A and B are shown apart, each in its own frame.
Chain A
Amino acid sequence: MNKTSRVFLISCAILSGILIIALFRLQVIKGGHYKRVAESNFVRIRRLTATRGEIYDQKYRPIVQNIPSHNLYLTSGKIQNIPALARFLSLHFDITVQEVTEMVLKQRFRTYEEILVVDNVPFEKMLSVSEHLNYFPELTFRIGSTRDYLHPNHFTGYVGRINEREYERYEEEDYSINSYIGKTGLERYYEVLLRGKDGREVVQVDAQGRSLGLFQEGGYIEPLNGLSLVLTIDNELQDFASRAFPAGIKGTVVVSDVSSGGILAYVSKPEYDPNLFMQRITPEIWNDLNSEDKPLMDRVIHATYPPGSVFKPITAGLGLQKQIINRHTRLSSCIGGFQVGNRFFRCWDHSGHGTSNVIEALMESCDVFFYDLSLKLRLEDFKAYVLASHLGTKTGIDLPNERQGFFPDAAWYRKTFGRNVGIIGHKVNLSIGQGEVLTTPLQMNAYYAAIANNGTWIQPHLLKQTVGRARLTRQQVERIQIKQLPFSQSDLKVIQDGLYAVCNGAKGTARSVQVPKAETFGKTGSAENFMGKKTHAWFCGYIVTDKPEIAVTVFMENAGGGSAMAAPVARQIFDFYMGNIEDIKRPAVLPPQFRSAEELTQDRSETLQQDIDSEPEPEPMQDSNEEVQSD
């Protein structure tokens, strides 16, 4: 018994003794040292923000870049005098006392973490404020980075500081409360790729928060920088399209590459400057951004409009598919209009077109041909065909919140207008792209590109590939959807011939749209609408050299006639494209900053090898008398 208890007692005493000695060393012998460490130096885990990926056009020209910014931070654990701090901040930065107290209260369980008080402080202001910071050890300026939108547009979107709701929703994703997060456009759609992953380091900092270097025993987790996006956009074509669009008119221009589905230009007017969102927005600026013209709205995918006559190829296609008409079929004569029941549906040309076949009807955009055709079509077939043509449904472009457009069916009519609604009159309107049908300019562009592409519909997309830590093609990031439009080869040819006639026939509504060295195909449209007195102007078309090149859609809200207003803009774009076709189509060389170390050394060693091969051989060196030291 005693032996047992002796064992226990001795072990207990030894262990206690070890602890006491260690504590003595720690607190008495090294007490002063640790006191200094604790008081004047702080050890802290600093988040290493990953660099956000940038955005380039297909030739690696920058569209969105990171630039340095000066941000003011507050460490609440070091506040000496809250009222003085609040006065200082309200004096220099327009921050109310209440906002300051709220900030401090929110951080009370993490008092060593820095709160972002003001971001993107202009340089001069930063200098003048810095002079006073001696009195406020809790405030520090840090260099961060902010976004510079070099070419304002509607597809990149913009970033902003993360708000509370987003912070909670993405809790798992390791955002700090000061993180940037994409709010709209590509910045938001590809947020995960662009953001990368923040790292961590353990640093020893002084009372001013200045780093004294890594703690020797501390650790380091490297930040993973975000991937940069290389888009299908061509900056020069984008700029040109934006300038070619007439001032004072709201609308869009979409230019896509037929063979790949990549978007070359994406314009929505009126435009806004995303750089405004990088700083505090004054009420005046906010009012401008939300004016009646709605400059913030992306009209390419967030607005739907009646397509008008550019919808006619769909009606024609259905007629051909159902073999109600063929290339030569002539339907009822157009006398400036067409009688259906007790209603006279007018053609746009009141003098009438006489009888036409489908090609002529497309060329002159005769409404009556299509009215007559619609009487022979069933609404269900129409709806099914529209969906098969990938209209009335989202294209799936890599941007958030795309609208899907609309095409009605019998059930919808019954619900909206009552059970005894007459469908026929509605069908007549639908056949020429009026009535309840709604499309986005992007959907129309994708459809016409598919006609150009032998009936193969390719999902429109903006991302070509990523560069940086990983090089991924768009296909690797997200599969590009491809499907076939419901055309047989011969029927497709009929439609293409019709579109050719529009631009090249004697009576073609877009015969002015001609470009040297290429064949033009297209369709004009002037859509009646509820938004104003004038019609919406549409032009959808494409050009073909030895193969299809680009598809262009120009859309103008309430601007008048498609052939008068929209077609000329499209022509300018075709001209520009053909004039610069070599530059535009030349494959871009990957700039050195994106190449990996191995690739660069490989390049260099190849050039070096060439140099060596061309040099005469040097003489062998004499043996040196130096001793080689061993370790």
Chain B
Amino acid sequence: MKKFSLINHKKFDFVLLGLLVALIAVGFVAIFTASTTVISDQVITASHWWKQIIFAGIAGLAIALLLRLPMPIFDILILPAFVLNLLALILVLFTPAVSGSHRWFSIGNVNFQPSESAKLLTILMVARYISKENLSEYRQILYGFGIMIVPVILIMIEPDFGTTLVFWASLMAMFIAAEVPLFFILLMVSPVISLVASLHWLGIIVWIAILIFLLMRARLSWVAITVACIINTFIALITPVFWMGLKDYQQNRILTFLDPTRDPLGAGYQIIQSKIAIGSGSLTGKGWLMGTQKNMNFLPEHHTDFIFSVIGEEFGFVGSIFIVLLFFAFFARLIHSVIQLKVRERKVATAGIMAYLMFQTFINIGMNIGLVPATGIPLPFISYGGSNLLINTISVAVILKYLNERGFIK
């Protein structure tokens, strides 16, 4: 039975693995229909479908290899891998631009995106450093930001603002898991919320009220509360003024910076199409392979960023809810893993990974529904794309490994 020594039957989380496989399988189904065009009686399928199967196969292999890797070696490899990734991030800036950004290395047919692997490696690095014994919260925050700032800046230069946000969300989750007091988190997050709340005057008032209430609950001094409120109110008020003061083309620049893949026709042509596709799926959808909007290729990216709209169109409300609930179950299981892990570093890392997967999922589905402006974030495990699938799967594999190793440490 030495063969199966990589799996500790009592500790290995089969449920998590099962959910992962379920998600990837859903991906196969979705990509198949997304790659298929039906013209009267002719059915033509493009190559994306079986390519995704190959990617999944490679990912499966990666899981097995990772589980096999002895834990101490894994621990040692993190730092050099992180440094190498930073170098890759620097080098990629010198590659020729593809649609205005420098994100990819292209070697023959293979594309590698260093910002993808940077997500996982940065999380692992940050997790290690903020989990050390007896660190004050300030030190934790400092280390966390300090380590993260380097890859984030490099990625922002590419430019790729969407991925930057993902890092940020992970960091917050890791702070929470590292037991940094919640009000610290709140203070860090508040400027961003103020920015968003500034969209509506009512939002500003409600938000400031909530802020005061939460800070009071955290028993901060009145001085601190007042300072925080002043800063946040200022941000909330100044943002609309600042935005209006910008000329059209300047506004455009910022919006394009936030998302380089932004529809040049403005106001999200892609989102319109996505909503029509999903909405027209109604309760039960149009049936597999029968999606008319998908068929007519109104959405150029429907096997990648907008794969959810294909599911929505062909399987209706029933199908959409199924996907959302499947993801919810997956995340719930990941939260469960966070609780199960006792080693601080691993708990924190798991929280970080979970956060970034959650962030991508909700942003992507939100974008498909029209709640969120178009960004270039794909749907984990379901969107077509080797880099993304591989890194996401390896991230989950890391968590599986952690779970597998429970009890082997003092």
In chain A, what residue has the closest Cβ to B319?
A: A27
Bound: A492/B332 CA distance, A: 97
With A5-B335, A23-B317, A76-B39 in contact, is A112–B296 under 8 Å at CB?
A: yes
The one of A19, A23, A43 in contact with B298, judged by C-beta atoms closer than 8 angstroms, is: A43
CB contacts under 8 Å to B, within A42-93, are 42-45, 76-77, 79-82
Q: Confirm or deny: A547 has a beta carbon within 8 angstroms of a beta carbon on chain B.
A: no
Where chain B touches its partner, the secondary structure class is helix
In chain A, what residue has the closest Cβ to B363?
A: A15
Q: Which of A212-220, A392-400, A507-515, A571-579 is near enough to bind chain B? A: A212-220
Where chain A touches its partner, the secondary structure class is helix
Shortest beta-carbon distance from B263 to chain A in Å: 7
Q: Which of A103-111, A147-155, A344-352, A580-588 is near enough to bind chain B? A: A103-111
Q: Decide if B335 touches A9 in the complex (CB within 8 Å).
A: yes
CB contacts under 8 Å to B, within A365-382, are none
Instruction: Specify which chain A residues have a CB less than 8 angstroms from the CB of B331 in the assembled complex.
Output: 12
Against B, the Cβ 8 Å flags (1 = close, 0 = not) of A12-34 are 11011011101110111011111
Bound: A82/B296 CA distance, A: 17
Q: Confirm or deny: B276 has a beta carbon within 8 angstroms of a beta carbon on chain A.
A: yes
Q: Confirm or deny: B312 has a beta carbon within 8 angstroms of a beta carbon on chain A.
A: yes
Q: Decide if B269 touches A110 in the complex (CB within 8 Å).
A: no
Q: Confirm or deny: A221 has a beta carbon within 8 angstroms of a beta carbon on chain B.
A: yes
Q: Decide if B362 touches A35 in the complex (CB within 8 Å).
A: no
Number of residues on chain B facing chain A (CB within 8 A): 58
A-B CB contacts (within 8 Å), total count: 161
Instruction: Specify which chain A residues have a CB less than 8 angstroms from the CB of B144 in the assembled complex.
Output: none
Q: Decide if A23 touches B335 in the complex (CB within 8 Å).
A: no
Q: Which of B11-19, B130-138, B227-235, B277-285 is near enough to bind chain A? A: B277-285
Q: Decide if B279 touches A26 in the complex (CB within 8 Å).
A: yes
Q: Decide if A12 touches B328 in the complex (CB within 8 Å).
A: yes
Bound: A19/B365 CA distance, A: 8
Number of residues on chain A facing chain B (CB within 8 A): 53
Instruction: Specify which chain A residues have a CB less than 8 angstroms from the CB of B293 in the assembled complex.
Output: 38
Q: Confirm or deny: B241 has a beta carbon within 8 angstroms of a beta carbon on chain A.
A: no
Instruction: Specify which chain B residues have a CB less than 8 angstroms from the CB of A77 in the assembled complex.
Output: 39, 295-297
Instruction: Specify which chain B residues have a CB less than 8 angstroms from the CB of A80 in the assembled complex.
Output: 40
With A1-B339, A43-B298, A219-B269 in contact, is A27–B177 under 8 Å at CB?
A: no
Shortest beta-carbon distance from B348 to chain A in Å: 10
Against A, the Cβ 8 Å flags (1 = close, 0 = not) of B325-360 are 101100110011011000000000001001000100
Q: Confirm or deny: B388 has a beta carbon within 8 angstroms of a beta carbon on chain A.
A: no
Q: Confirm or deny: B272 has a beta carbon within 8 angstroms of a beta carbon on chain A.
A: yes
Q: Confirm or deny: A277 has a beta carbon within 8 angstroms of a beta carbon on chain B.
A: no
Bound: A19/B179 CA distance, A: 29
In chain B, what residue has the closest Cβ to A33?
A: B279
Shortest beta-carbon distance from B63 to chain A in Å: 24
Q: Decide if B362 touches A108 in the complex (CB within 8 Å).
A: no
Q: Decide if A8 touches B173 in the complex (CB within 8 Å).
A: yes
With A30-B279, A35-B280 in contact, is A22–B369 under 8 Å at CB?
A: yes
Bound: A43/B293 CA distance, A: 10
Shortest beta-carbon distance from A83 to chain B in Å: 10
Against A, the Cβ 8 Å flags (1 = close, 0 = not) of B356-377 are 0010001001100111000000
Instruction: Specify which chain B residues have a CB less than 8 angstroms from the CB of A7 in the assembled complex.
Output: 176, 182
Q: Decide if B321 touches A28 in the complex (CB within 8 Å).
A: no
3 nearest A-B pairs in the assembled complex, by CB-CB distance: A34-B279, A31-B282, A219-B265
Q: 15 A-B Cβ contacts within 8 A?
A: A1-B339, A16-B327, A22-B369, A26-B275, A31-B280, A34-B278, A35-B282, A37-B279, A42-B296, A43-B272, A79-B39, A81-B40, A108-B44, A111-B297, A218-B267
Taking A37-B276, A38-B277 as given, write out 4 further A-B residue pairs in contact, using a Cβ cutoff of 8 Å, ordered by the A residue number.
A4-B351, A16-B325, A23-B278, A33-B279
- A residues bordering B, Cβ < 8 Å? 1-2, 4-5, 7-9, 12-13, 15-16, 18-20, 22-24, 26-28, 30-35, 37-39, 42-45, 76-77, 79-82, 104, 108-112, 200, 202, 215, 217-221
